[in-house]
A and B are shown apart, each in its own frame.
Chain A
Amino acid sequence: MSQVSRRQFLRTTAAGAAGAVALGRAPAHAQARELTFLSVASFVPDTDKELKRQFEEWGAKNKVKVRLDIIAHLQLQTKKAAEVQARSGHDLTALGPGLGDADLYFDYLADLNDVATDVAPKNGGWLNPDDYLIRGKWKLLPWWMPPFPMAVRTDLLEKLGEKNPDTWEDWLRIGKKGKAMGHPFGTAMGHSADANVTLLSILWSYGGTYIAKDGKTITLNSKETRAALDFVKRLYTEAMDPEVLAWDDASNNRCLNAGKCIGIHNPISAYESAKRDKVLVPGTQREISEVIDHIHTPRGPVARKATTGYWCVGVWNFSKNVDLAKDFLRYHFQPDNLGKWVEAGRGFNMPFLANLTKHAVYKSDKQYRFIPEVAKVSVPPSWPGPTTAASQQVLDLYIIPDMFAQHATGKMTADQAIAWAEKELQEIYAGRKRKP
C-alpha cells in the first residue's frame, strides 16, 4: 500500500516539477485516457465498493484508466466550488444534496439530455422528470435518495398501548406519553439536513408552503404555516427534549440506537448500523434492531408529503472526457448494474427510476416495505416551486428550521417567526435574480 503511494508521489512529483517549470502550461498526460469520479462516502459502505467495482469493470472493458475518489459528504461543497473555480478536477462528480447544483453550476455542467433519455426506458422511466429538468435541461442525473420513513420502537409502542400511528398528531400524543417515561420523540431542529427535511415535511403536511409554483412569490405567511408552527411548538415542548436544537444528522440515529427515542424521522441508516454493531436494548439482552420498525412518513391534516436528500451525478463541461463520462453513466444506469448497486446499499439508496423502486431488496426485509411508499410522496425541497440556486440557499442557511425553532423555544411569536423568515427569504430570492 505504502509502496504504491510512494511511487505515486514520485510520479506526481515529477509531473509537478515539470508543471512548475512550464508555468501556465497544462501538465502532460502520461496516459491519454483517464476517467476520474468524485463521490461522497456512502452511508452504507458496501455501496462504494460496488460502485468502484463497476467503474473498474467498465474501465477494463474500454481500456480506460479509472479513479474513484471518495470524500465525506460535508466536504463536497468545498470541493465542487474549488473545481469549478479552477475549471479542473474530476470528470464525473456527485452533486447535491439537492438538485440546486444544476442551477448553481448550470454553466459548468455538461448537458446530459441524451443519457437521461437513453437510460429511462430500460428502467421504467424517471419518477418525476419535470422535477429534475432545470431550466429545461438535464444538467445532472438524479442518482439516489434516502427516503425518510418513521423509525419506531415497537416494544415501547406496545407498552403505551399504541397501534399504527399514522399522523403527526399521533406522534405528538405518543411522544408526550413516551417523554413521560424517558423515551421522547426525536427530530432535529438545528442546523442539519435532517432538520430541513422533517420540518419541511411538517410544513407541507399542514398545508403550508414557503414559495409559489412560479418560484418568485413568497407564500409563507398563511394560517397553514401558523398551524404547522404551533404544532411543532407543541411537539418540541411536550414530546421532545431540548437537545434536538443541537442535533446533527447523526444524533437521531444515536438516540434511537441508544434506546432512548421512541421514534425518529430518518432513513434506515440507524437500523442498519444497529444491526451491524449488534446494539442491545439497555438493560436487556435483546438486540435493538429487532424492536425497530419502519412505517410510513406521517400525514398531516392536509397532506402526506415528505422530502429527502436528492443526490445526483453530473459531468463537468470543462472535463476533457465528457463522452467517456457519459458512457460510464450509461453503463452504471443499466438495470443490472443499478440493481446490484441498490442491493449493496440494502435499500438505503433508492434511484429515481420507476423499476428500481420495485427492486427485490425492498421485499427482502419487512423493515423496507414502506420505503417505496415514502418515495412516492417525496418531492424536492423547493416544492411547489422549481429548484433554483435560491431554493438551495434556503436550505444552506437553514431558514425553515430556524423559523420553527424561534417559535418553538418561545423566542418569537408565530407571526414574528414568519415575518423573520419572510424577510430572509425575500433577500435570498431577490439576490438570486438572474441578470438578463
Chain B
Amino acid sequence: MSSGLGRIRPLFTLYMPLAPFVLFALFPLYFMVVTSFKTNAELYDVNAVPFWIKRGVTFGHYQLLSQDTLFWSWFVNSLLVSVAATIISVVIGILAAYPLARLRFPGGDSFGVAIFITYLVPPSLLFLPLTTVVNRLGLSDSLWSLVVTYPTFLVPFCTWLLLGYFRTVPKEIEECAMLDGCNRLQTLLRILLPVAVPGVICAALFAFTLSWNEFLYALVFVSPAELKTMTVGVYSELIRGDIYYWGGLMAGACIGSLPIVIAYVFFLDYYVSGLTAGAVK
C-alpha cells in the first residue's frame, strides 16, 4: 500500500504468500469437481492419476442424480426452506436489533446476552426436545417444521450482527425524522434500513448459508422422500451401507454449492462491508 514500491515487489510479498492459501482453499473443491466427472473405472483405479481425467469425462453421475433420484425436488425444497427461514430470521433480527441498539429499557442488556448464550447449547442435544415441540405444533413431515426451527439458530446471529451495524449509524437523522412526526416503525423502515443495507445483506447471506448447510433438523423433522432437503436426500440415496456412490455424492456437492457461490459472487462486497460495521462494533 505504501508508496514507492517497485512493480515487481507485490508479486513476492503479496501474491506468492497468498498462493498457498488459495490452493489450500480451492484444492478440495477442485478435487470434488474432477471426481464428479470421472468414470467409475478410473475413479476406483488405484494406479490412475487422481488429479485429472484421462479416460473421458462422464456426465453419468449427474444423470444418476437427475434421473434416479428426486434430486431437483430436494434442491427446490432446500431453496424454499432457506429463503423462507432467511426472510423470517432477518425480519425478526431487525426488529430485535433496533431497540437493543437505540432504546434503553429494563432487561435489554440481559436479553442481549441471553441471545448469545443460545449458541452454547449444542444442537446435537437440543434436537430431541425440539422434536416434541415440532410435533405438538403439527409440523412434522412438512417443510414448515424447518422454516420454523431454523430461525432458532439464525435469529441470534442476525440480531447480533444488525445490532452492531445499527450502532454505527448516527442517530441524529432519526431524531429529525421523529421530530417530523414519524413513529418508531416508520423511522426504522424509512431512515435506518436504507442506510443499513450492507448489514442486512450480510445477515441474510449468513442466514442463507447456515440454512442451506443444515443437516440434523432436516433429517429428523422431515421423512417423505419428496420433501427432503438436498444434503439429506443425497445422503440417503447415495450412501448404501458399505457402498458409497462417490461420483454421485460429489456431483451433488457441486450442484449444491452453486446457489450459495452465486449469491456470494453478487454480494461479496456488501458482505465485507456489512461485517465491517456489524462485527467490529
Give residues in A with beta carbon < 8 Å to B: 1-2, 4-6, 8-9, 12-13, 15-20, 22-27, 36, 38, 40-43, 45, 67, 69-75, 78-79, 81-82, 85-90, 194, 248-250, 252-254, 257-260, 266-267, 269-270, 273, 277-280, 282-283
Closest chain B residue, CB of each to CB of A81: B128
Pick the contact of A72 from B76, B144, B148, B236 — CB < 8 Å? B236
Are B226 and A4 interface neighbours, CB within 8 A?
yes
- Identity of the chain B residue whose Cβ is nearest the Cβ of A41 in the assembled complex: B240
Contacts of B136 in A (CB 8 A): 23-24
Q: List 27 A–B pairs whose Cβ atoms lie within 8 Å, in order of A's numbering.
A: A1-B73, A2-B76, A4-B226, A12-B141, A12-B144, A13-B143, A16-B139, A16-B144, A19-B137, A20-B137, A22-B138, A36-B223, A41-B240, A69-B223, A71-B232, A72-B240, A75-B236, A82-B131, A85-B129, A86-B140, A249-B242, A250-B242, A267-B242, A277-B44, A279-B41, A279-B44, A280-B41
Contacts of B135 in A (CB 8 A): 86-88
> Once the chains bind, are B76 and A5 in contact (CB under 8 Å)?
yes
B33 within 8 A of A: no
Assess the A88–B73 pair: CB atoms within 8 A. Answer: no
- Is B149 located at the chain interface by the 8 A CB criterion? no
User: What distance in Å separates the Cβ of A140 from its nearest Cβ neighbour in chain B?
Assistant: 20
Residue contact A78 to B219, C-beta cutoff 8 Å: yes
| Segment 23-75 of B: residues with Cβ below 8 Å from A | 40-41, 44-47, 70, 72-73
Q: Which residues of B contact A74 (CB under 8 A)?
A: 239
Interface assignment of B142: CB less than 8 Å from any CB of chain A: yes
Bound complex: CA A36 to CA B225 (Å) = 12
Cβ A85 vs Cβ B131 within 8 A: yes
A213 to chain B, nearest CB (A): 31
CA separation between A250 and B40, bound complex, in Å?
A: 16
> Is A90 within 8 A of B227, CB to CB?
no
Let me know if A12 and B142 touch, CB within 8 A: yes
Residue of A nearest to B144 (CB): A16
Cα distance, A193 to B45, chains bound together (Å): 26
CB pair B70–A1 under 8 Å, yes or no, is: yes
Q: Does B132 contact A (CB under 8 A)?
A: yes
CB atoms of B226 and A8 under 8 A apart: yes
Contact of A20 among B40, B139, B143, B216 (CB under 8 A): B139
A41 lies within 8 A of B237 (CB): yes
Given contacts A9-B227, A20-B138, contact A282 B47 (CB under 8 A): yes
| Alpha-carbon separation in the docked complex, A161 to B69 (Å) | 47
Contacts of A18 in B (CB 8 A): 138
Q: Is the CB of A86 within 8 A of B141?
A: no
- Does B273 reach chain A (CB closer than 8 Å)? no
Contact with B243, one of A23, A90, A253 (Cβ below 8 angstroms) = A253
A418 to B139 Cα, complex, angstroms = 49
Q: Which residues of B contact A (CB under 8 A)?
A: 40-41, 44-47, 70, 72-73, 76-77, 80, 127-129, 131-132, 134-145, 148, 216, 219-221, 223-227, 232, 235-237, 239-244
- A43 near B240 with CB under 8 A, answer yes
Chain B residues with CB under 8 Å of A1's CB are 70, 72-73, 226
CB proximity of A33 to chain B, nearest CB, Å: 17
- A278: chain B residues within 8 A (beta carbon): 41
A343 to B99, CA, bound (A): 66
**A38-B228 Cα distance, complex, nearest whole Å:** 14
Give Cα A14 to B40, complex, Å.
44
User: A5-B226, A24-B136, A250-B242 in contact; A70/B70 too (CB < 8 A)?
Assistant: no
Q: What residues of chain B lie closer than 8 Å to A27, measured between beta carbons?
A: 138
Knowing A85-B128, A86-B134, the reply to whether A45 touches B236 (Cβ < 8 A) is no
Tell me which residues across on chain A come within 8 A of B129, comparing CB atoms. 85
Query: How many A-B residue pairs lie within 8 Å, measured between CB atoms?
Result: 156
Check A5–B73 contact: CB distance below 8 A: yes
Considering the chains assembled together, what is the distance between the CA atoms of A250 and B239 in angstroms?
Answer: 10
A250 touches B46 (CB 8 A): no
Q: Are A75 and B235 in contact (CB under 8 A)?
A: yes
Residues of B contacting A88 in the complex (Cβ-Cβ under 8 angstroms): 135, 140
Residue of A at shortest CB range from B68?
A45
In the bound complex, how far is the Cα of B233 from the Cα of A71, in angstroms?
Answer: 8
Contacts of B128 in A (CB 8 A): 81-82, 85
Q: Are A23 and B219 in contact (CB under 8 A)?
A: no
Q: Are B224 and A69 in contact (CB under 8 A)?
A: yes
A259 to B45, CA, bound (A): 9
- Give A22's nearest chain B residue, CB to CB: B138
Closest to B66 in A: A1
Contacting pair B137 A258 (CB below 8 A): no
Q: Which residues of B contact A75 (CB under 8 A)?
A: 219, 235-236
Please give me the residue from chain B that is nearest to A188 by CB atom. Answer: B242
Docked complex Cα distance between A71 and B80 (Å)? 22
Q: Are A12 and B227 in contact (CB under 8 A)?
A: yes
Q: How far is the CA of A279 from the CA of B47 in the complex (A)?
A: 13
B84–chain A nearest beta-carbon distance, Å: 10
CB-defined contacts of B131 to chain A, threshold 8 Å = 82, 85-86
Q: How far is the CA of A354 from the CA of B230 in the complex (A)?
A: 41
Instruction: Specify which chain A residues have a CB less than 8 angstroms from the CB of B138 in the assembled complex.
Output: 15-16, 18-20, 22, 25-27
Partner of B144, one of A17, A24, A40, A43: A17
Contact A42 B241 (CB under 8 A): yes
Closest to A43 in B: B241
- Residues of A contacting B46 with CB < 8 Å? 258-260, 282
Q: How far, in angstroms, from A163 to B171 measured CA to CA in the complex?
A: 88
Nearest A residue to B39 via CB reads A277
A243 to chain B, nearest CB (A): 13
Whether the pair A277, B41 counts as a contact (CB closer than 8 A) is: yes
Which residue on B lies nearest to A283, using beta carbons? B47
Give the shortest distance, in Å, between B217 (CB) and chain A (any CB).
Answer: 10
Known: A15-B138, A254-B44. A70 touches B216 (CB 8 A): no
Inter-chain contacts of A280 with B (CB < 8 A):
41
B248 to chain A minimum Cβ distance, whole angstroms, is 12
